[in-house]
Structure 1
C-alpha cells in the first residue's frame, strides 16, 4: 500500500498549545492528491484515517512550499481548522508533522476503518473494544504492528485461506478476532495467578496467522501473493519474520511479554512434524481456538454432517 507522495516535513512541528479554534489529532495519512482550482490555484487534498472513519484535509497554496516526499500510509499529527458540517466536514490544515512508528501508543485507534471489508466490521469493532482492556505495553505493541505499512491495511483485507475457511476479504481479521473473548476463561483456569496471561494469549491469537497477508492475500484466486524477498516460507514462519522488529521493540521495556510471544510464534513457525509438544499453555490455547474458529466457519456442528448411525462407514 506504500505509495510515494509529498507532504509537510517532520520539522513542520506543532505549537505547544493550539488555539481553541484549531483541532489537533493523530491520523494515518492514506492518500495525497494534488489538485487545481478553476482559478489556477494549486492545493493538496489529504485523506486522514483512523478507526472512527476518514477525514478530508486541505492544504492551501500558501503552505505548499513546505512539502517534501513521503511514503503513505504514514502516521501524522495534524493541526487544522474545522470547516463545513456533517459529511461535508473537513480540516483546513495549518501544520502537519510526521510521527515515527516508535512514538505511537494509541493501540488500534489508528487502524483505518474505511479499508475494512463489511464482512469483518463486527470483528473490527470487537478488536477495538478488547484491546482497551490490555496492559499499556501490549496496546503499544499491537498498535505499532497495526500501523506498520507492510501489515495494517493488508491485515484488514486479507482472506484467511483460498478456500478452506474464512475465504473472503476480511476473513483473516474475523478468524483472528472471533475467539478472543473465550481466552480469559481458558487462561484464568489453566494459568491461575498470572494476570497478564489472558491479554498475552489474546495478542498471540490475534497475530497467529499474520503471515497470510503474503501467502493468501485478498486476491480473487488462490494465487499466492508472496513477495520475491520472502521465498519458500510458510505463513507461520512469515508471521515471526513480520513481527520480529516489533517484538524486539517490546523486549526493550517488557522482556517477559516479548519472550512469551516470541516462544509462541517461533513454535508455530517450525515444520509441523518437528514441533513436538507445545512449550507453553499459551500455545495450546492459540492452537485450540484456531481450530475452533475454522470449524465454526466450516459449519461443523453438534450433529455429524452426514447423519450416519453407529458403526456405519463415513460417507465421502
Structure 2
C-alpha cells in the first residue's frame, strides 16, 4: 500500500502515516499551556503538526530528524493545511526508504554537474580556473555539493538544490558578463561556486535537513572560507608560485559578503563590484525559487492567492488556474 504523502493530504481527512519530524518545538499558548509544534515532511513537502496539552517529558521520546508515525486530523487554517495530532511516536528507520522522505530536486543532477564543469573550464583566468577545478576534482566535496540542499526551508530546500542554485547563478553571470566589461566575472563565478560551499558541512541532509554542530557554531560563510583555505594550502604546497594573495583575498570577501548586509548575516558588506554582483545574483535566484515553490506547493489549489508567507511577509498572487476555472 502506497504512502499518504504530504502533497496528497486534503482538508478534513484523518491520517495515520509516517513522516520525518524536521523540527520540533514546545510552545506555550495564551493560557500558559504547552503544545507541540512539529514540522513534518516527506519528499513531496512539509506540513505543520500541532498537539495540544503536552509537556517536555511526554515529548522527550522524539527529536528533530526522527521518523515518526502520527495519527491526526487534517484541517485548513488561514489558507494553509495543518495536522491536529492525537498521537505521535518514533519509529525505527529499518525498512524505510530515505528517498521517500527527503525532498528531491526536479533537475537532472548529472546534467548540472557536467554543465558546472563546462562553465568552470571556460574561465580565462588560469589561476582561478585551476583553483575551482581542485574543488570539482575533490570527490568528497562533489559528493556533498551535488547532494546538499541550499537551505532547510527557504530556497532550493531539496536534495541537489545547492548544485542547482550554483549552476543557475553561474548561467546568469555568464549572460550578464558582456554588460559589465569592467567587472571581473572570473571572480564572480568563483564566488558563485564557493559562496554556499560551506553548506555541505553546515547542514545534515541524510534523513532530514538539520544544522550540524559546525553549522550552528560557525555557519556556512566561515566554513566556506575554511574550505577555501584548505585548497589554497594544497595549491601552495604543489606549486612553486603561490596563489595570488589579492585574488585569494577577493574570493574570501565574496564568500563573507554575499548576504549583502549585516542584518542578514554578512560579517562584511560587499566592497567590490564583483561582490555586489554576486549578492544580487544570489538573491535573485533564491527569491525566484522560493516564490515558484511557494506557489507550486500551495495546498489550496483553487485559490488565486497563496496563504500568507511569514518568511516573505506577503501572500503571492497565483492568478487563474485550471482548477480555479472549473
Note closer, same or farther for the CA distance 1:315–1:152 as it changes in structure 2 (3 Å cut): closer
Indicate conservation of the 8 Å contact 1:117/1:157, yes or no: no
- 1:203 paired residue number: 190
Residues in 2 aligned to 1:276 and 1:252: alpha-carbon distance in whole angstroms? 26
Q: Check if 1:215 corresponds to 2:207.
A: no
- 1:240 paired residue number: 225
Cα deviations by residue, 1:210-232 (Å, 9 ceiling, x for unpaired): 111122243232322345xx760
- 1:259 paired residue number: 249
- What SS does the aligned partner of 1:292 have? helix
- 2:179 paired residue number: 189
Residues in 1 aligned to 2:207 and 2:262: alpha-carbon distance in whole angstroms? 28
Residues in 2 aligned to 1:202 and 1:137: alpha-carbon distance in whole angstroms? 13
Cα deviations by residue, 1:186-245 (Å, 9 ceiling, x for unpaired): 44434x345xx1122111111111111122243232322345xx7601111111111112
Indicate conservation of the 8 Å contact 1:117/1:169, yes or no: no
Task: Give the C-alpha shift of residue 150 in structure 1.
Answer: 4.7
Residues in 1 aligned to 2:162 and 2:284: alpha-carbon distance in whole angstroms? 14
Indicate conservation of the 8 Å contact 2:254/2:274, yes or no: yes
Q: Check if 1:289 corresponds to 2:281.
A: yes
Residues in 1 aligned to 2:156 and 2:217: alpha-carbon distance in whole angstroms? 23
Residues in 1 aligned to 2:276 and 2:109: alpha-carbon distance in whole angstroms? 26
Pick the aligned partner of 2:122 from 133, 137, 149.
133
- 2:111 paired residue number: 122
Note closer, same or farther for the CA distance 1:271–1:151 as it changes in structure 2 (3 Å cut): farther
Task: Give the C-alpha shift of residue 120 in structure 1.
Answer: 2.1
Indicate conservation of the 8 Å contact 1:237/1:268, yes or no: no
Task: Please report the TM-score for the alignment, with normalisation by the length of structure 1.
Answer: 0.51
Note closer, same or farther for the CA distance 1:213–1:315 as it changes in structure 2 (3 Å cut): closer
Residues in 2 aligned to 1:181 and 1:212: alpha-carbon distance in whole angstroms? 21
Residues in 2 aligned to 1:118 and 1:268: alpha-carbon distance in whole angstroms? 25
- What SS does the aligned partner of 1:166 have? coil
Task: Give the C-alpha shift of residue 118 in structure 1.
Answer: 6.4
Residues in 1 aligned to 2:232 and 2:210: alpha-carbon distance in whole angstroms? 30
Indicate conservation of the 8 Å contact 1:234/1:269, yes or no: no
Task: Give the C-alpha shift of residue 271 in structure 1.
Answer: 8.2
Note closer, same or farther for the CA distance 1:241–1:269 as it changes in structure 2 (3 Å cut): farther
- 2:151 paired residue number: 161
Residues in 2 aligned to 1:160 and 1:286: alpha-carbon distance in whole angstroms? 16
Task: Give the C-alpha shift of residue 138 in structure 1.
Answer: 2.1
Indicate conservation of the 8 Å contact 1:240/1:269, yes or no: no
Indicate conservation of the 8 Å contact 1:204/1:286, yes or no: yes
Task: Give the C-alpha shift of residue 256 in structure 1.
Answer: 3.7
- 2:37 paired residue number: none
Indicate conservation of the 8 Å contact 2:107/2:164, yes or no: no
Unaligned ranges ≥5, structure 2: 1-104, 296-303, 307-312, 317-326
Task: Please report the TM-score for the alignment, with normalisation by the length of structure 2.
Answer: 0.49
